[in-house]
Structure 1
């Protein structure tokens, strides 16, 4: 019975979204198109956890070699409103964890501006006021933000939960119907196994292509986990055998699987995505750590959780403990990275 109600609610929700999309498609509701700067949208059809932030960092690193770029995000769950340029006096709390994480990656790069604004159209205008030399803007989590039409639309979907097998909220995780994928110029299948068979690749491409009238560029990426970094200097950058994994992200399972596959015994403390840690959370982490019955142990967090934790007033209580975060990046399957980058370059030159 509960499942039936969820389906009914998803039909109602879907009807509202379809009507909204139709109004934009028929130009009844207006969408802004910029000739300059060039705008690249990065987003998904589903709720979070598809790997948008690693892709934004990848694109920013790639494009800032040639262009002055800006990364514009809404700053989800930030404790502020309006337009803000991220700088040294801001924090994950004031601008959001993901924009602040991106900012930390480009502290020494003068060609990268990171900003937040709920209204992307206003945000683009404000970015250009702040830095008129910006040539490319990366819009984070903007696939459903139809008030602005990107020059290039990149859609992310995960290998294990692809959009073509999902359903609309609240019965599933989709923000809009599957046919919304037709707006994508490029589709990235993220969090894929590193060594996919050609038959698996072809099967997934066939399913994705069903939602496009023209041939769409489809790429597969997997997550690369880098060496752990100790939060306090002087600690060894090597993970012990027993770990307390603390996560506040949408999809923590791949990290846990990675750690367990590498021989670690993992106790997992899970918080919701974008969780702002409170005093009780810090105390719980410390208690759980001390309960681990092994002398060779540590706490492991994600890099996104790291930027939220460092602003906590009780952070000094974790300082005596071995706490590590693990940086990640994306890698392309079957030597397709050059093809992907060529597609990006071609789009910006057109």
Structure 2
């Protein structure tokens, strides 16, 4: 049972969300539909940690083989405002950690444009003004952008905390009520165990289906962890057993579990999601690292934290130490990637 004051805050927040939806449903607030370019929204009902960035990278890799693709993100917590096309002069500070990370994957691809803008409709107009031949725009974290009607709405929800078992803020992590899932055209259940049984999959699908009047595609994905990449000058063929894990992401537990499953002993420094590391944070990381008793040890972090750490003036003090980040990508269970990609291409080519 939740405390009464939390329930009161939840009612107030829920009322504001309901009013916003009412204004759009009654056409009091304007909604925009673009015949071209094709808009694909990637989002969630929760406040983060569902794996939007790896999926966005996955989709850009898929679509850029055939189309000119732009990614439009808000650029959360960036130190800039307005519309921006990410380029080589930018960093995570000016672009936002997630857009800049995506940019690093496609910096040399002429078919890919990574952009940020707080106002999504203005962002779309600016993209088309700058590059009229853009054929597809991926709306990063676009599910709550009710001012836009995308051609395809992809909703992500995690295996361990699916939306149908979650609660509205502040009682849970949902930004809008569960019924908002009905706007999705595709659902991805992310961060699933690789050994997930078909029986469990069907049970989750059965829990999702009541939010829809007809069956929609539901896919299960997992995280693929790649070999660690060195950040500093100290290289290694493999990670030492003793690790200092530094994370500033919404849900760091899967990475910690992965490392511990592979036999590593973890000391974990947890920072808030999208945390901008300070000089004091850098000194704390170095101090905790030197305090680890083992001589064969290293610092490990995530890709998102990597782009934020390297944007800091004090990174030179860290790169003298053995420090690595672990790249990840999306993997599909039950060999369903082909069906997912087919659905995407049907939307793009229709």
TM-score (norm 2): 0.98
Deviations 1:246-268 (A, max 9, x none): 00000000000000000000000
Q: Work out whether 1:235 is the aligned partner of 2:238.
A: no
Whole-Å Cα distance in 2 between the matches of residues 339 and 2 of structure 1?
41
User: Does structure 2 retain, via aligned residues, the 8 Å contact 1:47–1:173?
Assistant: yes
Instruction: Write the mapping of 1:269-348 to structure 2, written as runs, cut at 5 A.
Output: 269-348=269-348
Residue 234 (structure 1) shift: 5.5
Question: Which secondary structure does the structure 2 equivalent of 1:149 belong to?
Answer: coil
Instruction: Write the mapping of 1:210-249 to structure 2, written as runs, cut at 5 A.
Output: 210-233=210-233, 235-249=235-249
> Please, which runs of 5 or more residues in structure 2 have no aligned partner?
none
Question: Which secondary structure does the structure 1 equivalent of 2:3 belong to?
Answer: helix
Question: Which secondary structure does the structure 2 equivalent of 1:294 belong to?
Answer: coil
Alignment partner, residue 10 of structure 1: 10
User: Does structure 2 retain, via aligned residues, the 8 Å contact 1:3–1:171?
Assistant: no
User: Does structure 2 retain, via aligned residues, the 8 Å contact 1:229–1:237?
Assistant: no
User: Does structure 1 retain, via aligned residues, the 8 Å contact 2:233–2:322?
Assistant: no
Alignment partner, residue 76 of structure 2: 76
How many corresponding residue pairs? Answer: 350
Residue 171 (structure 1) shift: 1.0
Instruction: Write the mapping of 1:198-209 to structure 2, written as runs, cut at 5 A.
Output: 198-209=198-209
Deviations 1:10-69 (A, max 9, x none): 122112212211221232221100010000000000011000000000000000000000
User: Does structure 2 retain, via aligned residues, the 8 Å contact 1:230–1:237?
Assistant: no
Question: Which secondary structure does the structure 2 equivalent of 1:71 belong to?
Answer: strand
Alignment partner, residue 251 of structure 1: 251
- Calculate the aligned-residue CA RMSD, in Å: 1.1
Instruction: Write the mapping of 1:191-202 to structure 2, written as runs, cut at 5 A.
Output: 191-202=191-202
Whole-Å Cα distance in 1 between the matches of residues 289 and 173 of structure 2?
33
Whole-Å Cα distance in 1 between the matches of residues 163 and 68 of structure 2?
33
Instruction: Write the mapping of 1:31-180 to structure 2, written as runs, cut at 5 A.
Output: 31-180=31-180
Question: Which secondary structure does the structure 2 equivalent of 1:50 belong to?
Answer: coil
Residue 235 (structure 1) shift: 0.8
Whole-Å Cα distance in 1 between the matches of residues 200 and 231 of structure 2?
40
Per mean C-alpha deviation after superposition, the further-off stretch among 117-126 and 15-24 is 15-24
